Chains A and B, each alone.
Chain A
Amino acid sequence: MELSGPRWKGKNYAQIANSNPMSEIIAQLQVCLSNSESAALPIGTDFLLETEPELTDLFNCTSFGRQLKTSNGSKGYFQLSPEETFYLHHYLNCLKVLINNANLINVNDLWNFMRSRNELFPIYYRAYMHLRSKNWVVKSGTNNGVDYVVYRHHPELVHSEYAVIVDWEKESGEKEGGRLRVWSDLHCAVRACNGVAKAVLLLNVMGYEVKFSLPELLERMTVGERQITRWLPSQCRDDCKLDNDVEADDIDVASDKNVINHTTRYWVVPLQTQTQPEIGEEDSDYAPSMSL
Protein backbone atom coordinates (compact mmCIF):
# COMPACT_ATOMS: atom_id res chain seq x y z
CA MET A 1 0.00 0.00 0.00
CA GLU A 2 1.47 3.32 -1.04
CA LEU A 3 1.69 5.70 1.89
CA SER A 4 0.44 9.25 1.72
CA GLY A 5 3.15 11.80 1.05
CA PRO A 6 4.19 14.59 3.40
CA ARG A 7 2.78 18.11 3.19
CA TRP A 8 5.51 20.60 3.91
CA LYS A 9 4.49 23.90 5.42
CA GLY A 10 6.71 26.08 3.31
CA LYS A 11 8.84 26.24 0.25
CA ASN A 12 12.21 24.51 0.69
CA TYR A 13 11.15 23.06 4.05
CA ALA A 14 11.64 19.58 2.63
CA GLN A 15 15.22 20.48 1.81
CA ILE A 16 15.74 21.90 5.30
CA ALA A 17 14.45 18.66 6.77
CA ASN A 18 16.59 16.55 4.43
CA SER A 19 19.63 18.58 5.40
CA ASN A 20 18.92 18.06 9.09
CA PRO A 21 17.97 14.40 9.58
CA MET A 22 16.09 13.94 12.83
CA SER A 23 18.34 11.03 13.83
CA GLU A 24 21.38 13.32 13.81
CA ILE A 25 19.73 16.00 15.90
CA ILE A 26 18.58 13.35 18.36
CA ALA A 27 22.16 12.08 18.54
CA GLN A 28 23.27 15.58 19.52
CA LEU A 29 20.53 15.71 22.12
CA GLN A 30 21.75 12.40 23.55
CA VAL A 31 25.28 13.69 24.00
CA CYS A 32 24.21 17.01 25.47
CA LEU A 33 21.65 15.51 27.85
CA SER A 34 24.02 12.77 28.99
CA ASN A 35 26.58 15.41 29.94
CA SER A 36 24.02 17.58 31.66
CA GLU A 37 23.32 17.55 35.39
CA SER A 38 19.62 18.05 34.73
CA ALA A 39 17.24 15.38 35.95
CA ALA A 40 13.51 14.99 35.27
CA LEU A 41 11.12 15.19 38.24
CA PRO A 42 7.57 13.85 38.38
CA ILE A 43 4.88 16.54 38.22
CA GLY A 44 1.34 15.27 38.14
CA THR A 45 1.28 12.47 35.59
CA ASP A 46 4.14 14.04 33.61
CA PHE A 47 7.76 15.00 34.26
CA LEU A 48 9.48 18.37 34.50
CA LEU A 49 12.97 19.03 33.16
CA GLU A 50 14.95 22.23 33.62
CA THR A 51 17.35 22.90 30.75
CA GLU A 52 20.25 25.17 29.88
CA PRO A 53 20.08 27.09 26.60
CA GLU A 54 21.84 24.54 24.41
CA LEU A 55 19.63 21.75 25.71
CA THR A 56 16.57 23.96 25.32
CA ASP A 57 17.32 24.35 21.64
CA LEU A 58 17.89 20.63 21.16
CA PHE A 59 14.66 19.72 22.91
CA ASN A 60 12.81 22.13 20.66
CA CYS A 61 14.51 20.87 17.53
CA THR A 62 13.73 17.25 18.34
CA SER A 63 10.23 18.16 19.54
CA PHE A 64 10.39 16.28 22.82
CA GLY A 65 8.04 17.65 25.46
CA ARG A 66 6.31 21.01 25.66
CA GLN A 67 8.24 24.08 26.66
CA LEU A 68 6.54 26.01 29.44
CA LYS A 69 6.26 29.75 29.22
CA THR A 70 8.35 31.48 31.84
CA SER A 71 9.86 34.88 32.45
CA ASN A 72 13.18 33.23 33.21
CA GLY A 73 15.08 33.61 30.00
CA SER A 74 18.21 31.76 31.07
CA LYS A 75 16.61 28.39 31.61
CA GLY A 76 14.06 26.31 29.74
CA TYR A 77 11.35 24.22 31.39
CA PHE A 78 9.98 21.23 29.57
CA GLN A 79 7.01 19.08 30.45
CA LEU A 80 7.61 15.51 29.26
CA SER A 81 4.99 12.78 28.93
CA PRO A 82 5.69 9.42 30.62
CA GLU A 83 6.43 7.84 27.22
CA GLU A 84 8.86 10.59 26.29
CA THR A 85 10.55 10.43 29.68
CA PHE A 86 10.99 6.69 29.55
CA TYR A 87 12.14 6.77 25.92
CA LEU A 88 14.83 9.32 26.73
CA HIS A 89 15.84 7.38 29.83
CA HIS A 90 15.66 3.85 28.44
CA TYR A 91 15.95 3.82 24.64
CA LEU A 92 18.23 6.86 24.24
CA ASN A 93 19.85 6.26 27.63
CA CYS A 94 20.51 9.94 28.23
CA LEU A 95 17.93 11.30 30.68
CA LYS A 96 18.31 11.11 34.45
CA VAL A 97 15.14 10.82 36.49
CA LEU A 98 14.79 11.78 40.13
CA ILE A 99 11.93 10.39 42.20
CA ASN A 100 10.98 12.02 45.50
CA ASN A 101 14.00 14.34 45.14
CA ALA A 102 16.11 11.46 46.31
CA ASN A 103 18.33 9.12 44.33
CA LEU A 104 18.49 8.87 40.64
CA ILE A 105 16.28 6.01 39.60
CA ASN A 106 17.41 3.06 37.45
CA VAL A 107 15.54 1.81 34.44
CA ASN A 108 13.75 -1.13 36.10
CA ASP A 109 12.59 0.97 39.02
CA LEU A 110 11.42 3.67 36.66
CA TRP A 111 9.53 1.03 34.66
CA ASN A 112 7.75 -0.15 37.78
CA PHE A 113 7.09 3.44 38.78
CA MET A 114 5.49 4.18 35.43
CA ARG A 115 3.38 1.02 35.54
CA SER A 116 2.19 1.76 39.04
CA ARG A 117 0.79 5.06 37.84
CA ASN A 118 -0.82 3.71 34.66
CA GLU A 119 -1.40 0.01 34.01
CA LEU A 120 -1.58 0.70 30.26
CA PHE A 121 1.82 2.37 30.22
CA PRO A 122 3.60 -0.68 28.74
CA ILE A 123 1.24 -0.69 25.76
CA TYR A 124 1.52 2.99 25.03
CA TYR A 125 5.26 2.98 25.57
CA ARG A 126 5.66 0.06 23.15
CA ALA A 127 3.66 1.98 20.53
CA TYR A 128 5.56 5.21 21.19
CA MET A 129 8.89 3.44 21.00
CA HIS A 130 7.87 1.74 17.75
CA LEU A 131 7.24 5.12 16.11
CA ARG A 132 10.03 7.19 17.65
CA SER A 133 12.65 4.54 16.94
CA LYS A 134 11.85 5.00 13.26
CA ASN A 135 12.61 8.71 13.78
CA TRP A 136 9.04 9.90 13.40
CA VAL A 137 8.14 12.79 15.71
CA VAL A 138 5.35 11.64 18.01
CA LYS A 139 3.05 14.08 19.77
CA SER A 140 -0.18 13.87 21.72
CA GLY A 141 -3.24 13.24 19.59
CA THR A 142 -5.76 14.76 22.00
CA ASN A 143 -6.45 17.62 19.60
CA ASN A 144 -7.65 15.12 17.01
CA GLY A 145 -9.38 12.67 19.30
CA VAL A 146 -6.72 10.01 18.89
CA ASP A 147 -3.73 8.73 20.88
CA TYR A 148 -0.89 10.28 18.90
CA VAL A 149 -0.17 12.26 15.76
CA VAL A 150 3.07 11.62 13.92
CA TYR A 151 5.19 13.95 11.86
CA ARG A 152 7.84 13.17 9.32
CA HIS A 153 10.03 15.87 10.84
CA HIS A 154 9.54 18.88 13.12
CA PRO A 155 5.91 20.11 13.36
CA GLU A 156 7.08 23.57 12.28
CA LEU A 157 8.20 22.20 8.94
CA VAL A 158 5.57 19.63 8.04
CA HIS A 159 1.96 18.74 8.78
CA SER A 160 1.34 15.53 10.63
CA GLU A 161 0.48 12.69 8.29
CA TYR A 162 -1.04 10.13 10.57
CA ALA A 163 -3.45 10.13 13.46
CA VAL A 164 -2.60 7.08 15.53
CA ILE A 165 -4.98 4.87 17.47
CA VAL A 166 -3.39 2.25 19.70
CA ASP A 167 -5.16 -1.04 20.23
CA TRP A 168 -3.82 -4.12 21.97
CA GLU A 169 -4.38 -7.79 22.53
CA LYS A 170 -3.00 -10.36 24.88
CA GLU A 171 -0.43 -12.96 24.07
CA SER A 172 -3.27 -15.48 23.84
CA GLY A 173 -4.80 -13.41 21.06
CA GLU A 174 -7.74 -12.47 23.25
CA LYS A 175 -8.74 -8.95 22.43
CA GLU A 176 -8.26 -6.57 25.30
CA GLY A 177 -8.03 -3.01 24.05
CA GLY A 178 -11.56 -2.71 22.76
CA ARG A 179 -10.76 0.25 20.54
CA LEU A 180 -13.04 0.76 17.54
CA ARG A 181 -15.54 -1.59 19.09
CA VAL A 182 -18.62 -0.27 17.33
CA TRP A 183 -19.14 1.18 13.87
CA SER A 184 -19.64 4.70 15.10
CA ASP A 185 -16.12 4.56 16.61
CA LEU A 186 -14.73 3.82 13.17
CA HIS A 187 -16.83 6.39 11.35
CA CYS A 188 -15.95 9.01 13.95
CA ALA A 189 -12.21 8.37 13.80
CA VAL A 190 -12.07 8.40 10.03
CA ARG A 191 -14.31 11.42 9.64
CA ALA A 192 -12.48 13.46 12.26
CA CYS A 193 -9.04 12.63 10.95
CA ASN A 194 -9.81 12.86 7.26
CA GLY A 195 -11.37 16.26 7.92
CA VAL A 196 -7.96 17.53 9.00
CA ALA A 197 -6.10 15.73 6.26
CA LYS A 198 -4.64 12.95 8.36
CA ALA A 199 -4.73 9.28 7.60
CA VAL A 200 -5.76 6.99 10.45
CA LEU A 201 -3.08 4.56 11.51
CA LEU A 202 -4.10 1.69 13.74
CA LEU A 203 -1.22 0.32 15.79
CA ASN A 204 -2.00 -3.08 17.18
CA VAL A 205 0.25 -3.99 20.09
CA MET A 206 0.22 -7.76 20.35
CA GLY A 207 1.44 -10.22 22.89
CA TYR A 208 0.79 -8.03 25.92
CA GLU A 209 0.80 -9.50 29.39
CA VAL A 210 0.45 -7.52 32.62
CA LYS A 211 3.24 -9.38 34.29
CA PHE A 212 5.91 -8.57 31.68
CA SER A 213 9.18 -7.11 32.82
CA LEU A 214 10.90 -4.59 30.61
CA PRO A 215 13.10 -7.10 28.77
CA GLU A 216 10.09 -9.36 28.18
CA LEU A 217 8.14 -6.40 26.88
CA LEU A 218 10.76 -5.63 24.32
CA GLU A 219 11.14 -9.22 23.26
CA ARG A 220 7.60 -10.49 23.13
CA MET A 221 5.34 -7.58 22.29
CA THR A 222 5.06 -6.80 18.59
CA VAL A 223 3.39 -3.94 16.80
CA GLY A 224 1.28 -4.29 13.64
CA GLU A 225 0.42 -1.31 11.48
CA ARG A 226 -2.76 -0.94 9.47
CA GLN A 227 -4.19 2.11 7.86
CA ILE A 228 -7.93 2.74 8.04
CA THR A 229 -9.15 4.37 4.88
CA ARG A 230 -12.59 5.15 3.59
CA TRP A 231 -13.12 4.17 -0.02
CA LEU A 232 -15.22 6.54 -2.12
CA PRO A 233 -16.66 4.53 -5.00
CA SER A 234 -18.10 7.68 -6.58
CA GLN A 235 -14.57 8.94 -7.02
CA CYS A 236 -12.98 5.56 -7.45
CA ARG A 237 -10.32 6.31 -4.85
CA ASP A 238 -9.27 5.69 -1.29
CA ASP A 239 -9.76 8.77 0.79
CA CYS A 240 -6.74 8.98 3.03
CA LYS A 241 -6.92 12.71 3.21
CA LEU A 242 -9.64 14.95 1.90
CA ASP A 243 -8.46 17.68 -0.40
CA ASN A 244 -9.32 21.32 0.22
CA ASP A 245 -10.35 20.75 3.79
CA VAL A 246 -9.35 23.39 6.26
CA GLU A 247 -6.40 22.31 8.31
CA ALA A 248 -7.20 22.40 12.00
CA ASP A 249 -3.49 22.92 12.53
CA ASP A 250 -3.67 26.15 10.55
CA ILE A 251 -6.61 27.39 12.55
CA ASP A 252 -4.81 26.62 15.78
CA VAL A 253 -1.66 28.35 14.64
CA ALA A 254 -3.50 31.41 13.40
CA SER A 255 -5.54 31.88 16.55
CA ASP A 256 -2.94 30.85 19.07
CA LYS A 257 -1.12 33.96 20.17
CA ASN A 258 1.42 31.90 22.03
CA VAL A 259 2.80 30.16 19.00
CA ILE A 260 6.48 30.49 18.24
CA ASN A 261 7.52 30.48 14.64
CA HIS A 262 10.67 28.44 15.00
CA THR A 263 11.48 28.58 11.34
CA THR A 264 13.93 31.46 11.47
CA ARG A 265 15.40 30.47 14.77
CA TYR A 266 15.93 26.78 14.40
CA TRP A 267 15.83 25.83 10.77
CA VAL A 268 17.16 28.60 8.55
CA VAL A 269 20.10 28.78 10.94
CA PRO A 270 19.85 25.36 12.51
CA LEU A 271 21.38 24.57 15.85
CA GLN A 272 23.57 27.65 16.19
CA THR A 273 23.52 29.85 19.26
CA GLN A 274 20.07 31.35 19.57
CA THR A 275 18.66 34.40 21.26
CA GLN A 276 16.44 33.78 24.25
CA PRO A 277 12.88 32.80 23.41
CA GLU A 278 10.23 35.40 24.08
CA ILE A 279 7.54 34.91 26.66
CA GLY A 280 4.44 33.29 25.17
CA GLU A 281 6.18 31.43 22.39
CA GLU A 282 6.08 27.69 21.99
CA ASP A 283 5.56 24.99 19.38
CA SER A 284 2.69 25.29 16.99
CA ASP A 285 -0.02 22.62 17.05
CA TYR A 286 -0.39 23.11 20.77
CA ALA A 287 -2.58 25.21 22.92
CA PRO A 288 -0.59 27.52 25.19
CA SER A 289 0.50 26.03 28.44
CA MET A 290 0.03 27.81 31.76
CA SER A 291 1.75 31.14 31.94
CA LEU A 292 3.24 32.71 35.05
Chain B
Amino acid sequence: MDGYNSSLPGSQIRLPICPNNSYCCIICCFFVLICVNLGKERTEVSKARWVEEIGMAQVIEKKGSLWVTTGVIRNGNLYCHIEEIGYLAQIGALVLLDEVDNVMGLKDIFTKCADRRYGCTWEFFEAYRHLKSLGYIVGRHGQPWSTKHDNLKPNSDFTADTGFIADRIEELQIGAANLMFDIHRPNSKFKKTDPGAPSFIICLVGDWPPRREEVEYLEEKCKLVPLKFCHVNHGDVRFFSFPKVSLPVLP
Protein backbone atom coordinates (compact mmCIF):
# COMPACT_ATOMS: atom_id res chain seq x y z
CA MET B 1 0.00 0.00 0.00
CA ASP B 2 1.39 3.34 -0.90
CA GLY B 3 -0.86 5.10 1.56
CA TYR B 4 -2.70 6.96 -1.17
CA ASN B 5 -6.39 6.75 -1.81
CA SER B 6 -7.68 9.03 -4.50
CA SER B 7 -11.27 8.53 -3.44
CA LEU B 8 -10.71 10.33 -0.16
CA PRO B 9 -10.47 14.10 0.18
CA GLY B 10 -6.98 15.51 0.54
CA SER B 11 -5.53 12.75 -1.57
CA GLN B 12 -2.08 14.29 -1.63
CA ILE B 13 -1.31 13.24 1.92
CA ARG B 14 1.58 10.90 2.41
CA LEU B 15 0.95 8.37 5.11
CA PRO B 16 3.48 6.67 7.33
CA ILE B 17 4.47 3.20 6.27
CA CYS B 18 2.10 0.45 7.33
CA PRO B 19 3.87 -2.87 7.77
CA ASN B 20 0.70 -4.73 6.84
CA ASN B 21 0.82 -3.17 3.38
CA SER B 22 -2.83 -3.91 2.79
CA TYR B 23 -6.16 -2.09 2.66
CA CYS B 24 -7.66 -4.98 4.58
CA CYS B 25 -6.10 -3.80 7.79
CA ILE B 26 -8.75 -2.07 9.89
CA ILE B 27 -6.17 -0.05 11.76
CA CYS B 28 -4.81 1.28 8.46
CA CYS B 29 -8.27 2.23 7.22
CA PHE B 30 -8.98 3.97 10.48
CA PHE B 31 -5.70 5.77 10.26
CA VAL B 32 -6.39 6.85 6.69
CA LEU B 33 -9.70 8.41 7.64
CA ILE B 34 -8.34 10.20 10.65
CA CYS B 35 -5.13 11.39 9.01
CA VAL B 36 -6.95 12.75 6.00
CA ASN B 37 -9.29 14.65 8.25
CA LEU B 38 -6.47 15.98 10.35
CA GLY B 39 -5.00 18.00 7.54
CA LYS B 40 -1.84 18.71 5.70
CA GLU B 41 1.34 16.73 5.34
CA ARG B 42 3.79 17.50 8.10
CA THR B 43 7.29 18.59 7.31
CA GLU B 44 8.48 18.56 10.91
CA VAL B 45 8.62 14.96 12.04
CA SER B 46 10.35 14.07 15.30
CA LYS B 47 11.86 10.70 16.17
CA ALA B 48 11.73 8.73 19.38
CA ARG B 49 13.11 5.35 20.42
CA TRP B 50 11.02 3.00 22.53
CA VAL B 51 12.57 1.86 25.82
CA GLU B 52 10.68 -1.23 26.95
CA GLU B 53 12.28 -1.22 30.39
CA ILE B 54 10.63 2.04 31.35
CA GLY B 55 7.55 1.77 29.12
CA MET B 56 8.30 5.11 27.48
CA ALA B 57 10.17 6.43 24.45
CA GLN B 58 13.17 8.74 24.47
CA VAL B 59 12.93 11.57 21.97
CA ILE B 60 16.07 11.49 19.83
CA GLU B 61 15.15 14.08 17.21
CA LYS B 62 13.00 16.93 18.37
CA LYS B 63 11.22 19.00 15.73
CA GLY B 64 8.73 21.78 16.13
CA SER B 65 7.32 23.63 19.11
CA LEU B 66 4.91 20.92 20.17
CA TRP B 67 7.49 19.57 22.66
CA VAL B 68 6.98 22.62 24.84
CA THR B 69 3.79 20.98 26.05
CA THR B 70 4.46 17.31 25.34
CA GLY B 71 6.78 14.80 26.95
CA VAL B 72 8.51 14.81 30.32
CA ILE B 73 12.06 15.84 31.11
CA ARG B 74 14.17 13.45 33.12
CA ASN B 75 17.68 14.64 33.83
CA GLY B 76 17.91 16.70 30.69
CA ASN B 77 16.43 14.08 28.38
CA LEU B 78 12.98 14.17 26.87
CA TYR B 79 10.71 11.15 27.15
CA CYS B 80 7.12 10.56 26.21
CA HIS B 81 4.38 8.23 27.32
CA ILE B 82 2.61 5.87 24.98
CA GLU B 83 -0.50 8.04 24.68
CA GLU B 84 1.65 10.96 23.59
CA ILE B 85 3.40 8.73 21.09
CA GLY B 86 0.09 7.45 19.80
CA TYR B 87 -1.29 10.92 19.25
CA LEU B 88 1.83 12.33 17.63
CA ALA B 89 2.28 9.28 15.42
CA GLN B 90 -1.33 9.47 14.36
CA ILE B 91 -0.99 13.06 13.21
CA GLY B 92 2.31 12.27 11.54
CA ALA B 93 4.45 14.37 13.89
CA LEU B 94 6.48 11.50 15.29
CA VAL B 95 8.16 8.35 14.05
CA LEU B 96 8.70 5.70 16.72
CA LEU B 97 11.68 3.37 16.47
CA ASP B 98 12.11 0.14 18.34
CA GLU B 99 15.25 -0.71 20.24
CA VAL B 100 17.04 -1.76 17.07
CA ASP B 101 15.87 1.31 15.16
CA ASN B 102 13.15 -0.32 13.08
CA VAL B 103 10.20 1.96 12.48
CA MET B 104 7.18 0.86 14.51
CA GLY B 105 3.91 1.07 12.66
CA LEU B 106 0.67 2.54 13.92
CA LYS B 107 -0.83 -0.83 14.56
CA ASP B 108 1.93 -1.64 17.02
CA ILE B 109 1.71 1.80 18.59
CA PHE B 110 -2.06 1.61 19.00
CA THR B 111 -1.69 -1.88 20.46
CA LYS B 112 0.74 -0.52 23.01
CA CYS B 113 -1.72 2.29 23.83
CA ALA B 114 -4.28 -0.31 24.72
CA ASP B 115 -1.76 -2.40 26.64
CA ARG B 116 -2.24 -1.65 30.29
CA ARG B 117 1.37 -2.49 31.04
CA TYR B 118 2.35 1.03 30.08
CA GLY B 119 -0.18 2.76 32.29
CA CYS B 120 -2.60 3.42 29.47
CA THR B 121 -5.83 1.98 28.11
CA TRP B 122 -7.46 2.55 24.76
CA GLU B 123 -10.13 4.75 26.35
CA PHE B 124 -7.43 6.70 28.17
CA PHE B 125 -5.69 7.27 24.87
CA GLU B 126 -8.92 8.40 23.18
CA ALA B 127 -9.53 10.94 25.94
CA TYR B 128 -5.93 12.15 25.71
CA ARG B 129 -6.17 12.50 21.95
CA HIS B 130 -9.44 14.40 22.20
CA LEU B 131 -8.08 16.95 24.65
CA LYS B 132 -4.70 17.29 23.00
CA SER B 133 -6.23 17.93 19.59
CA LEU B 134 -8.18 20.81 21.13
CA GLY B 135 -4.99 22.43 22.37
CA TYR B 136 -5.06 21.50 26.05
CA ILE B 137 -1.84 20.71 27.87
CA VAL B 138 -2.31 17.17 29.13
CA GLY B 139 -0.08 15.37 31.59
CA ARG B 140 -0.50 12.19 33.62
CA HIS B 141 -1.96 12.99 37.00
CA GLY B 142 0.57 13.60 39.72
CA GLN B 143 3.58 13.14 37.47
CA PRO B 144 6.06 16.01 37.29
CA TRP B 145 6.78 17.51 33.91
CA SER B 146 10.44 17.88 34.74
CA THR B 147 12.83 16.32 37.26
CA LYS B 148 16.57 16.39 37.80
CA HIS B 149 19.03 14.13 39.57
CA ASP B 150 22.58 15.07 40.50
CA ASN B 151 24.20 11.62 40.25
CA LEU B 152 23.66 9.84 36.98
CA LYS B 153 22.93 6.15 37.23
CA PRO B 154 21.36 4.01 34.55
CA ASN B 155 17.60 4.24 34.88
CA SER B 156 17.77 5.81 38.31
CA ASP B 157 15.75 8.76 37.07
CA PHE B 158 12.84 6.47 36.33
CA THR B 159 12.41 4.81 39.69
CA ALA B 160 9.61 7.16 40.60
CA ASP B 161 8.07 6.91 37.13
CA THR B 162 8.10 3.11 36.98
CA GLY B 163 6.59 3.01 40.45
CA PHE B 164 3.96 5.45 39.30
CA ILE B 165 3.23 3.34 36.23
CA ALA B 166 2.91 0.23 38.41
CA ASP B 167 0.40 2.00 40.67
CA ARG B 168 -1.53 3.21 37.69
CA ILE B 169 -1.62 -0.28 36.15
CA GLU B 170 -3.12 -1.61 39.35
CA GLU B 171 -5.76 1.12 39.39
CA LEU B 172 -6.63 0.49 35.76
CA GLN B 173 -7.24 -3.15 36.51
CA ILE B 174 -9.65 -2.39 39.32
CA GLY B 175 -11.90 -0.63 36.83
CA ALA B 176 -13.07 2.07 39.16
CA ALA B 177 -12.83 5.79 38.65
CA ASN B 178 -9.22 6.92 38.42
CA LEU B 179 -7.54 10.29 38.43
CA MET B 180 -5.78 10.27 35.08
CA PHE B 181 -4.83 13.68 33.74
CA ASP B 182 -3.72 17.04 35.03
CA ILE B 183 -4.91 19.60 32.51
CA HIS B 184 -3.67 23.07 31.83
CA ARG B 185 -5.65 25.33 29.57
CA PRO B 186 -3.97 26.33 26.28
CA ASN B 187 -1.16 28.61 27.38
CA SER B 188 1.71 29.96 25.32
CA LYS B 189 3.72 30.64 28.48
CA PHE B 190 3.60 27.10 29.79
CA LYS B 191 6.94 25.85 31.19
CA LYS B 192 7.65 22.30 32.23
CA THR B 193 10.02 23.54 34.91
CA ASP B 194 7.28 25.66 36.45
CA PRO B 195 3.89 24.49 35.19
CA GLY B 196 1.83 25.84 38.06
CA ALA B 197 -1.26 24.18 39.43
CA PRO B 198 -3.41 22.38 36.86
CA SER B 199 -6.60 24.06 35.70
CA PHE B 200 -8.48 20.86 36.46
CA ILE B 201 -8.03 17.15 36.89
CA ILE B 202 -9.68 14.54 34.70
CA CYS B 203 -10.95 11.33 36.18
CA LEU B 204 -11.61 8.49 33.79
CA VAL B 205 -14.69 6.64 34.91
CA GLY B 206 -15.37 2.97 34.56
CA ASP B 207 -18.49 1.12 33.59
CA TRP B 208 -20.84 2.95 35.95
CA PRO B 209 -21.38 6.61 36.78
CA PRO B 210 -19.56 7.52 40.00
CA ARG B 211 -21.51 7.28 43.22
CA ARG B 212 -21.76 10.16 45.67
CA GLU B 213 -19.11 8.81 48.03
CA GLU B 214 -16.78 8.12 45.12
CA VAL B 215 -17.12 11.70 43.92
CA GLU B 216 -16.45 13.01 47.42
CA TYR B 217 -13.42 10.76 47.85
CA LEU B 218 -11.91 11.87 44.55
CA GLU B 219 -12.64 15.53 45.27
CA GLU B 220 -10.77 15.13 48.53
CA LYS B 221 -7.77 13.73 46.67
CA CYS B 222 -7.84 16.63 44.20
CA LYS B 223 -7.92 19.13 47.01
CA LEU B 224 -9.02 22.45 45.54
CA VAL B 225 -8.40 21.63 41.88
CA PRO B 226 -11.69 21.24 39.96
CA LEU B 227 -12.47 17.68 38.98
CA LYS B 228 -14.11 16.53 35.76
CA PHE B 229 -15.24 13.03 34.93
CA CYS B 230 -14.63 11.52 31.53
CA HIS B 231 -16.66 8.75 29.98
CA VAL B 232 -15.46 7.17 26.74
CA ASN B 233 -17.85 4.99 24.83
CA HIS B 234 -16.98 3.64 21.40
CA GLY B 235 -14.83 6.65 20.60
CA ASP B 236 -17.31 9.16 21.95
CA VAL B 237 -15.53 11.18 24.64
CA ARG B 238 -17.70 13.12 27.09
CA PHE B 239 -16.94 15.07 30.20
CA PHE B 240 -19.11 15.78 33.21
CA SER B 241 -18.79 17.76 36.40
CA PHE B 242 -20.71 17.17 39.62
CA PRO B 243 -20.09 20.36 41.55
CA LYS B 244 -21.67 20.88 44.92
CA VAL B 245 -24.17 23.69 44.83
CA SER B 246 -26.56 25.32 47.23
CA LEU B 247 -29.72 26.86 45.93
CA PRO B 248 -30.13 30.21 47.65
CA VAL B 249 -33.00 30.93 50.00
CA LEU B 250 -35.17 33.27 47.99
CA PRO B 251 -37.02 36.29 49.39
Contact = CB atoms under 8 A, between A and B. Distances in A.
Chain B interface mostly:
loop
Interface in A101-117: none
A202 interface: yes
A175 B212 CA distance: 9
Given A202-B242, A204-B212, A233-B136, A134 B131 contact: no
B242 A233 contact: no
Interface string A179-205: 011110111001000000000011010
B154 interface: no
Contact of A186 (B130, B209, B213, B246): B209
Contacts of B250: 21-23, 134-136, 152-153
A21 B233 contact: no
B251 A135 contact: yes
B176 to A, nearest CB: 15
B244 A134 contact: no
A201 B185 contact: no
Interface string B181-196: 0000100000000000
A238 interface: yes
B228 interface: yes
Interface stretch (A7-15, A42-50, A221-229, A259-267): A221-229
Contacts of B248: 3, 134
A55 to B, nearest CB: 23
Interface of B: 130-131, 134, 136, 185, 207-209, 211-213, 215, 228, 231, 233, 238-251
A292 interface: no
Contacts of A229: 240-243
17 contacts: A3-B245, A169-B212, A182-B208, A183-B233, A186-B209, A186-B231, A187-B238, A190-B240, A224-B212, A225-B244, A226-B215, A226-B244, A227-B243, A231-B228, A231-B240, A233-B134, A236-B185
A134 B208 contact: no
B246 to A, nearest CB: 6
Contacts of B245: 1, 3, 201, 225-227
A226 B242 contact: yes
B209 A182 contact: yes
Nearest to A190: B240
Nearest to B236: A187
Nearest to B215: A226
A97 to B, nearest CB: 27
A125 B245 CA distance: 20
Contacts of A175: 211
A244 interface: no
B137 to A, nearest CB: 12
A230 interface: yes
Contacts of B134: 233-234
A181 B242 contact: no
Nearest to B249: A134
Given A232-B239, A234-B134, 12 more contacts: A22-B251, A134-B248, A135-B249, A169-B212, A182-B208, A202-B242, A225-B246, A226-B212, A227-B245, A228-B241, A229-B240, A230-B238
